[in-house]
Amino acid sequence: MIIKSKKIYEKAKKLIPGGVNSPVRSFKNVGLTPVFIKKAYGSKLIDEDDNEYIDYIGSWGSMILGHSNPIVAEEIKKAVSYGTSFGTATAIEVEFAEIICEAIDTVEMIRMVNSGTEAVMSAIRLARGYTGREKVLKFEGCYHGCVDGLLVKAGSGLLTTGIPNSDGIPKDYTKSTIIANYNDCENTELVIKKYKNELAAVIIEPVCGNMGLVLPDLEFLRLVRDLTYRYGILLIFDEVITGFRLHYGSAQQYFGINADITVLGKIIGGGMPIGVYGASKKIMKKISPLGPVYQAGTLSGNPVATVAGLATLKILRDNPSIYKDISEKANTLKKAYEFASEKYGVPLKINSIGSMLCPFFLNKNVVDYQSAKDSNIEHYAAYFKIMLKEGVYLPPSQFETMFVSYAHSYDDIEKTIDSINKALKGL
């Protein structure tokens, strides 16, 4: 029963658009009333009606250690006791920058901001300031935060400039955004060569996590890197999700493909609002106060967020077995989905990498936005409802990704597998 959640939701709708502060939380895609969470610990969420759920969104990938990790929580408490915001430089920012730069070899300097969206926005400004060019290429289905110039989708042609994908965005904001097809080498080479003298940057999610989970073709990533090198275009890896998720470091190191500018978020904040963009010293010295590219923020380098992120990164650095553990648990779930799919005759394709996975309700491989869209969203909604009733909290949309955390126990995994079987049998 979610009696209290329903009452809160009715009140919230009068005060907050859609009753939520981020659209996917509305449960609109699964036809339910959103669950309102009051607390979390380890792998669990507790709602306002005291229902307990095994959590597989983990604040959309942020909580790699699980909720309320005692070490991280203690560091946050200490930081709060000293003050929540100073608006000045702090020593902890320097230590945080050092641990990031030590972990990611393409990053020699960083600038801290307050969200992944802000980091992407600033990285693009930096690329334009560094190259003196204006256009940016993104890939269909890749999400880079709610930056005006990147909320675009492709048109029907191969070579299409951006059309706003949201009301309230002037066409002039997106006329410098070029679209190419993810994992499509032929299309990507054609587009980059056409705009090679105008492109400041190519921005990409090395692993897509916002059209469900879509894995990169390594030949495709290498082609993007080769073409950007050849034409003096900066390559931006949006690693808000993948940074410190696949291993202790970046997806660049995981795949052996370097980017010029790296964008980070989620895990590096330990559950607190944070974002980072970083690059070589040569590029980063274009940022004010050293250079002409202006970017600032009152809460950038917030001491509480910085302490939480630093504590999380130290745990991950000092305990490399964490990555093996969470990957094994995710793989166990993947095998369970595949077994249940065959047993109950429900078409499923499960994309997974490391501790990320996503079941698509269709019978073909999902390699890009177009194939992801073919998934049966009615089946996903029905599956979601059964899983929620069983006490398993999943992304309330087919086009999001599940995350396994270090706090998930094998009991959690076994309970989840039982629920998967009930859900697919129900379909």
Catalytic site positions: 143, 238, 266
Beta bridge partners of 276: 112, 264
CA separation for the pair 316, 320 (Å, rounded) = 6
* H or E element that contains 327: helix 321-344
Rounded to 5 degrees, what are φ and ψ at 135? -80, 150
- 45 closest CA partner among 61, 20, 68, 72: 68
Q: Give, rounded to a whole angstrom, the gap between the first and last alpha carbons of the chain.
A: 22
Contact 54, 420 (CB under 8 A): no
Q: How far is CA 325 from CA 19, 64, 197, 315, 395, in A?
A: 37, 11, 46, 14, 22
Q: Cα–chain-centroid distance for residue 341?
A: 27
Q: One-letter amino acid identity for 96?
A: F
Crossing angle for the helix pair 218-230 and 185-194, to the nearest 10 degrees: 10
The single-letter DSSP state of residue 268 is G
CA separation for the pair 330, 43 (Å, rounded) = 14
